[in-house]
Amino acid sequence: HAKKFGGNRVEFFRPGMRSQQTDRLALETDLRRALERGEIKPVFQPIVRLEDRTIAGFEALLRWDHPRFGRLNPADFIPIAEETGLIIDLGIFVLERTARELAAWQRALDVTPPIFASVNVSSRQLLRHDLLNDVKAVMTRSGVHRGTLKLELTESLVMENPEYATQILQRIRELGAGLALDDFGTGHSSLAYLQRFPFDTIKIDKSFVRPDARGARPTILRSIVSLAHDLGMEVVAEGAETESDTIELYQLGCEYAQGYAFGQPISALEARKLVGAPPEEPVARAS
Ligand code: C2E
Ligand code: MG
Ligand code: MG
Ligand code: MG
């Protein structure tokens, strides 16, 4: 196996493409060790408050610095992690790591409301694992402000089992975590459920935010913003790439925006610099 998968494989492996069976197998094996080796870590993308363009929070996004393939995006390994169950360990890792950074940002920045961080959650974590306990442990240990550690879940995820999801999400809210409905507009959620789910934030998917080929912004964008506000939720627009995106999103009443207009995801160290927090203590490397 080692021979077959070695050396020149990098020539035909293209991250983001649907990988071949052999790539998958290699990645699956590697993934088991990647966490222990410190190859996987979150990067943090700023979420900006449109009113004054200050940093309101960050979203944690996983990256895998693979020794042979270079930097891999979530699309290259999250599906494998979900299928193999490794997503549970990955999920706990990113929660803990993000809460630790959030605590450091909050110590450095004394602002009201306090800075927040959001972490993506996958189906398996919510529906087939004790997510509640993970969140509880992390919230207690990190000492972050109530409501500032947020979980992002997609519509399709919560609609897999809406009754159960509602119950668990309610309890997660009671623990003091925030809840954001991610990629809103790409799934099929029913209005009835939307009202019952205890989300505090809707993240509008970038496909509704970006103008189309003729330069027109989807008309439904305005309706989504009103719907969210009618339901008492705040709005984050994803994929704000240009100044005109930013201006229009503000005019439409979105509270926050996230996208290349404000910056790509950055390392934990860079995020600390940005908010004026001291760099982390050097961590002993596993031998
Ligand atoms: P998402 O949660 O919707 O994250 C937003 C994605 O849009 C990120 O891609 C981000 O880099 C990208 N993005 C940000 N600004 C812009 C922009 O202005 N234009 C465009 N075109 N794209 C932008 P990324 O990092 O590749 O993550 C993809 C997805 O992977 C995430 O989508 C999320 O669903 C999943 N993911 C990331 N980290 C985790 C994790 O820790 N756990 C789980 N379960 N899923 C994760
Ligand atoms: Mg997200
Ligand atoms: Mg999203
Ligand atoms: Mg998205």
Counting ligand 1 atoms within 8 A of each CB, the residue from 47, 61, 86 with the most, and so the one to mutate, is 61
Residue closest by Cα to atom 19 of ligand 1: 239
pLDDT, position 64? 97
Tokens for 144, please give them: 């972050």
pLDDT, position 10? 43
pLDDT, position 167? 95
Give, for 33, the enclosing helix (H) or strand (E): helix 21-34
Q: Which letter does DSSP use for residue 265 in this model?
A: -
Which ligand number lies closest to the CA of residue 262? 1
pLDDT, position 2? 35
Neighbours of 17 (CB within 10 A): 11
- Report the C-alpha gap between 263 and 274 in whole angstroms: 12
pLDDT, position 83? 92
206 lines ligand 1 (CB under 6 A): yes
**Positions in the chain whose pLDDT score sits under 70:** 1-22, 281-287
pLDDT, position 219? 86
pLDDT, position 214? 84
Q: What is the pLDDT of residues 3-14, one digit of tens each?
A: 333 344 444 455
- Report the C-alpha gap between 7 and 13 in whole angstroms: 11
Which amino acid would we find at residue 230?
Answer: D
- Report the C-alpha gap between 203 and 228 in whole angstroms: 10
Measured in Å, residue 206 CA sits from the centre of ligand 4 at 6
What is the value of ipTM here, to two decimals? 0.98
Q: What is the pLDDT of residues 204-221, one digit of tens each?
A: 999 998 888 888 888 889
Which amino acid would we find at residue 53?
Answer: R
pTM: 0.91
Measured in Å, residue 7 CA sits from the centre of ligand 2 at 34
Ligand 1 closest atom vs CA 87: 44
